[in-house]
Amino acid sequence: MSSALIGIIMGSDSDLPVMEQAVEILNEMEIPYELTIVSAHRTPDRMVEYSKSAYARGLKVIIAGAGGAAHLPGMVASQTTLPVIGVPIKSSNSIDGWDSILSILQMPNGIPVATVALNAAKNAGILAARMLSPFSEEITKKLEQFRKVNEIKVLQAVEKVKKRFPNDYDE
């Protein structure tokens, strides 16, 4: 059995630059993952095998990125009981990304797929970590640290803007 808790899949290697955002955040939080290509259209048997074996292999969440018709997240969700997070990707054959967004977002009742914004694999990684957080004190602590770092970055930006445009707010 693998030590991976999160599976990251995509329909094509052209999706990798977007899906690497999920890898980066999971690496930052030290959450083990696996990453591979699983095409709903070109390798349907591989997709079914991946989806049906995911739970037995120890995965807890699957992040599935897809562009164009973007059937991968929904088809994977139809084959597993694990939560699936869909990442719509603006691909070279995309209709401005809307085809991917709607293909993932508009799932029929009974086959839920959590959907993040276009090309937002980082948010998918964070959401997957949050799904695991109630079961792991380590992941909860990493998420708290991540939240705190984001807060500090915003407050630093506030000070930078305030120096350039002085005002009385927060005095």
Binding-site residues for substrate, in ranges, read 12, 15, 42
Binding residues: 12, 15, 42
For the record, the structure tokens of 142 come out as 């990493």
Query: Angle of helix 121-132 relative to helix 16-28, nearest 10 degrees?
Result: 40
**SS3 of the chain: helix, strand, coil, percent, to 5:** 50, 15, 35
Cα–Cα dist 132/136, whole Å: 6
- Classify 103 in phi/psi space as left (phi over 0), alpha (psi -120 to 50) or beta: alpha
